[in-house]
Chain A
Amino acid sequence: MDKTKKKLVLVGNGMAGVRTIEHLLKLAPHLYEVTIIGAEPHPNYNRIMLSSVLAGGASLSEIVINDWDWYKENGIRLLTGHRVTNVDAKAKKIVTDKDVTLHYDSLIMATGSNPFMLPLPGADKQGVIAFRDIKDCEIMMETSKKYKKAVVIGGGLLGLEAARGLLHLGMDVSVVHINSFLMERQLDQTAALMLQNELEQQGMKFLLRKNSSAILGRKRVTGLAFTDGTEVEADLIVMAVGIRPNVELARSVGIEVNRGIVVNDWMETSEADIYSVGECAEHRGIAYGLVAPLYEQGAVLAKRLAGVETAGYTGSVTSTKLKVSGVDVFSAGQYDEPPGSRALRYQDEIDGVYKKIVLRDDKLVGAVLFGDTGDGAKLFSVMKSGESIKGREKELLLGIAPGQKGADPAERLKQLPDDEIICGCNGVSKGAIADAIMNKGCASLGDIKACTKASASCGGCKPLVEGLLSIYAGDNVVKAKEGICGCTTLDRDEIVAEIKRMRLMNVKEVMNVLEWSNPEGCSKCRPSLNYYLGMLWPEEYKDEKESRITNERYHANIQKDGTFSVVPRIYGGVTSPTELKKIAEVAERFDVPMVKFTGGQRLDLLGVKKEDLPKMWEELGMPSGHAYGKTLRTVKTCVGSTFCRFGTQDSISMGIRLEKEFERLNTPAKVKLAVSGCPRNCAEATIKDFGVVAIDGGWELHVGGNGGVHVRATDLLCVVKTEDEVVEWAGAFLQYYRENAQWNERTSNWVERVGLEAVKDALAEPEERAELYARIRKTLDLTTDPWKQIVEDGSLRKNFEPLAETQTV
């Protein structure tokens, strides 16, 4: 025994006490010689997860937090199956019921709570238990094998969890509750009724407003009687009517006890060198029953014992985020609308969603969420900060709509403070998880679970933990700042700013001046620089075809065998017999292996040899369909009011007009448009970069859609009346996109990244739109059909042809 170490005795082997020791071991590993005394014959286990064990989600071994080895490895003496019977505060020693005597320098009382057993006649019969420890679980599991009917007394959180577990074990379960609605400590009546509905669907039965009077049966329970004279059959009765802090021992020592053992902000009791933490402790009048505050207490106590400065524990505003029987419920603060408060409620009985926020003056003081609890953490954070929410009430209630700035879940996660508790079951903060990822090499959910215990219990925080993983691990993977490619550390915005500032005029100049590591760049940056230069200086910049990607250079799509495909422009997907005949003749003359319709409503001639391209273009006499490259591809249309009985507008002429207006536009990534003639949307405009849907008397303008690898539906930008306005908005949007997005960034990714609100703001003023439109028009007016250009210009045409006959020298 090390004489220089102080003796620390922990009475109680539960979650709060042992967590304190864990912290202490980290802060001052050699300061104390630790002994832990626990009444149960188990190592430290997660009591909250008992519900999961019952419900079949976890095994008893999985809920152990610190196994027997942990105690050995940390030099902790563990006495299980002992109860402390006497504490001599003057002599500083304790005695257990097995006659073990221990001296201490510091003592922590972490005796937890006892389940409150209703003092009913018959409560001592076989088959009447609480739901508190492993033994209770074992009895429930045993009983379910031989008996059928279970009755749970208590419709609070614990009772419902027990009921869920018993249902899973195959029993017929009824929940008895004295109140008229469930979980009144967390939910208001509306949310409680919705919850009850859900649980009834799962098979749970409810006996509300029933006051139990006696337990029936002989040696074993057979039923439960109520004060109103009714009875219910029962083979098992689980009492889940509440817990009482276990203060017997403390009281016998003469320590100040109220409802719990009274402690100050440093978890000190009224007796010197005796501390208390956990459910048995009462701090500023509150004995907490949720784990997060208890873990906070433990952290403070550990610092105190280690001699580390701490501001002390100041109490917790609690929030409860639960999966009650698979149903998401969130509750925080004063959800019960005390006098002087006002509430906003949202109730959707179809989707089973209920949300309520409670305000006092202009501050958020309480909230209840049912069904959709995604905003729980944010609301709680707002509550704790005490900030004014004036003007944001509805936004907080309804949640931020997707596509708006800050709505991105990753953004929200980033903005959470480090001390925000992410995992309520285990009290793990955002900072702890971030630390695990960045400094302890955690790279997966499993790693984080093992390291911090986050997500190791109910799993409700899994999406948040995964979100943090991508935020922090993402940064970690690329330690050095990454530029647009390996040639530079500058990002797109920096490069564009420098080009503008220094009026750089060609690709080579940019790479020189901005000190590219590869003097001629690479296949990623050359085309992007070419694009940015063309976008910034439409008049002065001479497009550099050698910096174009292959398809754009040859104005055709290269295929796997080195041949190309030719797609002539067919505006709005409308052709004519003459046009079709022309295409057919050319296809025959050049022996084109395959003629196919494209998704963009035009024809594709596949398998064309490079040297035939200019000739084919010449014979077709049609403009390039630009089925290649980062440009406007097509404008799809549906029949619309020309012939369709449902068409409200002429989608065909609108589509053709848009295609003619914007063809040949250089964009950061390909842009696909469509125009539908009515809300049936047969042109699938809502998965396009810019989609137009006709309504009676106007046009809906949609943006940011994508029908490819990651399908994204559009966001509604606005509604306009006339065709001219459609063109004006399309031009303004496309130009804003051109000027701000990264090369190779589709509108869908870009709108997600910057947020729809930012786009709307930029396009809100008519003057702004007019300027954007003027710039895009200027750019477009300088373009010309490339096929025609190549056909007529020998110096361009030669690149399609092999070198002439060689002569031997």
Chain B
Amino acid sequence: MTKLLVGSIDDIDVKGSRTLRIQDKDIALFRLSDGEVLAVENRCPHKGGTLSEGMVCGKVVHCPLHDWKVDLRSGKVQEPDEGCVDTYEVEVDRSSGAVYVKL
């Protein structure tokens, strides 16, 4: 398991996201309104839409292409659609603000 320092929590706007590419994977990091930071594969299982561009509502992101709803904790797509995305473990050092992604 590799632990990667990807940036600081202030690099991500609240309810916003940033992207990164690690080892051929496109990953989207989301900072939720309660402070939690979650990371998922940046690719909607429907038609490959970039989830990082979607709207965050609670713990769910709405894909910008066709509004599929992806739960950022589990990676699962919400009803009535089906599918799931890879999720990645994130660690946030609250004192320094450093954000780590574990692969």
With contacts A523-B62, A799-B18 taken as known, whether A806 is within 8 angstroms of B47 at the C-beta atoms is no
Q: Kindly state whether residue B80 has any CB partner on chain A within 8 Å.
A: no
Q: Cβ of A799 and Cβ of B13 under 8 Å apart?
A: yes
CA distance A449 to B64 in the complex (A): 45
List B3-57 residues whose CB lies under 8 Å from chain A.
3-7, 11, 13-16, 18-22, 29, 33, 47-50, 53-57
Q: Kindly state whether residue A546 has any CB partner on chain B within 8 Å.
A: yes
Closest to B55 in A: A523
**Subset of 28 A-B contacts with CB under 8 Å:** A518-B57, A519-B58, A520-B56, A523-B55, A523-B57, A526-B55, A527-B55, A546-B14, A546-B15, A547-B55, A550-B53, A550-B54, A550-B55, A558-B53, A558-B64, A560-B65, A562-B48, A562-B50, A798-B11, A799-B13, A802-B20, A803-B7, A806-B5, A806-B22, A806-B101, A808-B3, A808-B5, A809-B3
Closest to B8 in A: A803
Q: Cβ of A799 and Cβ of B20 under 8 Å apart?
A: no
Q: Shortest distance in angstroms between A388's beta carbon and chain B's nearest beta carbon?
A: 54
Q: Cβ of B57 and Cβ of A520 under 8 Å apart?
A: yes
Q: What are the 7 A-B residue pairs with the smallest beta carbon separation, nearest first? A: A550-B64, A546-B15, A523-B62, A520-B58, A562-B50, A803-B20, A520-B57
CA distance A526 to B19 in the complex (A): 23
Q: Shortest distance in angstroms between A509's beta carbon and chain B's nearest beta carbon?
A: 13
Q: Kindly state whether residue B86 has any CB partner on chain A within 8 Å.
A: no
Q: Cβ of A803 and Cβ of B18 under 8 Å apart?
A: yes
Q: Kindly state whether residue A718 has any CB partner on chain B within 8 Å.
A: no
Closest to B21 in A: A802
CA distance A521 to B2 in the complex (A): 36
Q: Shortest distance in angstroms between A174's beta carbon and chain B's nearest beta carbon?
A: 66
List A491-522 residues whose CB lies under 8 Å from chain B.
518-522
CA distance A523 to B14 in the complex (A): 16
Closest to A519 in B: B58
CA distance A238 to B53 in the complex (A): 77
CA distance A809 to B13 in the complex (A): 24
By a CB distance below 8 angstroms, the chain A residues around B58 are: 518-520
By a CB distance below 8 angstroms, the chain A residues around B33 are: 520
Q: Kindly state whether residue A719 has any CB partner on chain B within 8 Å.
A: no
Q: Kindly state whether residue A311 has any CB partner on chain B within 8 Å.
A: no
With contacts A558-B64, A806-B5 taken as known, whether A799 is within 8 angstroms of B57 at the C-beta atoms is no
Q: Kindly state whether residue A807 has any CB partner on chain B within 8 Å.
A: yes
Given A799-B13, A802-B18, A802-B19, 6 further pairs, Cβ under 8 A: A522-B62, A526-B57, A562-B50, A806-B4, A808-B2, A808-B5
CA distance A526 to B56 in the complex (A): 10
Q: Which of B7, B48, B49, B50 makes the CB contact (< 8 A) with A804?
A: B7
Q: Kindly state whether residue B81 has any CB partner on chain A within 8 Å.
A: no
Q: Shortest distance in angstroms between B88's beta carbon and chain A's nearest beta carbon?
A: 12
Q: Shortest distance in angstroms between B52's beta carbon and chain A's nearest beta carbon?
A: 9
Q: Cβ of A558 and Cβ of B65 under 8 Å apart?
A: yes
Q: Which residues of B contact A (CB under 8 A)?
A: 2-7, 11, 13-16, 18-22, 29, 33, 47-50, 53-58, 62, 64-65, 67, 100-101
Closest to A547 in B: B55
Q: Which of A522, A553, A561 makes the CB contact (< 8 A) with B48?
A: A561
Q: Kindly state whether residue A554 has any CB partner on chain B within 8 Å.
A: yes
Q: Shortest distance in angstroms between A793's beta carbon and chain B's nearest beta carbon?
A: 12
Q: Shortest distance in angstroms between B30's beta carbon and chain A's nearest beta carbon?
A: 11
Q: Cβ of B57 and Cβ of A806 under 8 Å apart?
A: no
Q: Kindly state whether residue A389 has any CB partner on chain B within 8 Å.
A: no
Q: Cβ of B53 and Cβ of A803 under 8 Å apart?
A: no
List A560-617 residues whose CB lies under 8 Å from chain B.
560-562, 610
Q: Which of A520, A523, A553 makes the CB contact (< 8 A) with B67?
A: A523
By a CB distance below 8 angstroms, the chain A residues around B22 are: 806
Q: Shortest distance in angstroms between A384's beta carbon and chain B's nearest beta carbon?
A: 50
Q: Shortest distance in angstroms between A552's beta carbon and chain B's nearest beta carbon?
A: 11
Q: Shortest distance in angstroms between A454's beta carbon and chain B's nearest beta carbon?
A: 36
Q: Kindly state whether residue A117 has any CB partner on chain B within 8 Å.
A: no
Q: Cβ of A799 and Cβ of B16 under 8 Å apart?
A: yes
Interface band, chain A: 20 to 34
Q: Kindly state whether residue A549 has any CB partner on chain B within 8 Å.
A: yes
Task: Produce 1/0 per residue, A767-809, CB < 8 A to B.
Answer: 0000000000000000000000000000000110011101111
Closest to A527 in B: B55
Most buried by A among B5, B48, B67: B5
Q: Which of B15, B29, B56 makes the CB contact (< 8 A) with A803?
A: B29
CA distance A553 to B54 in the complex (A): 10
Q: Shortest distance in angstroms between A525's beta carbon and chain B's nearest beta carbon?
A: 9
CA distance A519 to B15 in the complex (A): 13
CA distance A527 to B13 in the complex (A): 17
Q: Shortest distance in angstroms between A191's beta carbon and chain B's nearest beta carbon?
A: 56
Q: Shortest distance in angstroms between A547's beta carbon and chain B's nearest beta carbon?
A: 7
By a CB distance below 8 angstroms, the chain B residues around A549 are: 55, 64
Q: Shortest distance in angstroms between A351's beta carbon and chain B's nearest beta carbon?
A: 46
Most buried by B among A558, A561, A562, A798: A562
Closest to B57 in A: A520
By a CB distance below 8 angstroms, the chain B residues around A809 are: 3-5, 100
By a CB distance below 8 angstroms, the chain A residues around B54 are: 550
Closest to A562 in B: B50
CA distance A169 to B101 in the complex (A): 84
Q: Cβ of B57 and Cβ of A522 under 8 Å apart?
A: yes
By a CB distance below 8 angstroms, the chain A residues around B55 are: 523, 526-527, 546-547, 549-550
By a CB distance below 8 angstroms, the chain B residues around A550 are: 53-55, 64
Q: Cβ of A521 and Cβ of B16 under 8 Å apart?
A: no
Q: Cβ of A562 and Cβ of B56 under 8 Å apart?
A: no
Closest to B54 in A: A550
Q: Shortest distance in angstroms between A524's beta carbon and chain B's nearest beta carbon?
A: 9
CA distance A69 to B20 in the complex (A): 75
Q: Cβ of A803 and Cβ of B4 under 8 Å apart?
A: no
CA distance A807 to B19 in the complex (A): 15
By a CB distance below 8 angstroms, the chain A residues around B100 are: 809
Q: Cβ of B19 and Cβ of A803 under 8 Å apart?
A: yes
By a CB distance below 8 angstroms, the chain B residues around A518 are: 57-58
By a CB distance below 8 angstroms, the chain B residues around A808 are: 2-5
CA distance A521 to B19 in the complex (A): 24
Closest to A554 in B: B53
Q: Shortest distance in angstroms between A409's beta carbon and chain B's nearest beta carbon?
A: 33
Q: Cβ of B49 and Cβ of A562 under 8 Å apart?
A: yes
Q: Shortest distance in angstroms between B74's beta carbon and chain A's nearest beta carbon?
A: 17
By a CB distance below 8 angstroms, the chain A residues around B4 are: 806-809
Q: Shortest distance in angstroms between B100's beta carbon and chain A's nearest beta carbon?
A: 7
CA distance A610 to B18 in the complex (A): 12
Most buried by B among A553, A561, A802, A807: A802
By a CB distance below 8 angstroms, the chain A residues around B64 are: 549-550, 558
By a CB distance below 8 angstroms, the chain A residues around B29 are: 803
By a CB distance below 8 angstroms, the chain A residues around B101 are: 806
CA distance A349 to B39 in the complex (A): 73
Q: Shortest distance in angstroms between A322's beta carbon and chain B's nearest beta carbon?
A: 49
Closest to A795 in B: B13
Q: Shortest distance in angstroms between B80's beta carbon and chain A's nearest beta carbon?
A: 13
CA distance A314 to B16 in the complex (A): 72
CA distance A84 to B5 in the complex (A): 103
Q: Shortest distance in angstroms between A441's beta carbon and chain B's nearest beta carbon?
A: 25
By a CB distance below 8 angstroms, the chain B residues around A553 are: 53
Q: Shortest distance in angstroms between A438's beta carbon and chain B's nearest beta carbon?
A: 28
Q: Cβ of B16 and Cβ of A546 under 8 Å apart?
A: yes
Task: Produce 1/0 per residue, A524-568, CB < 8 A to B.
Answer: 001100000000000000000111011001100010111000000
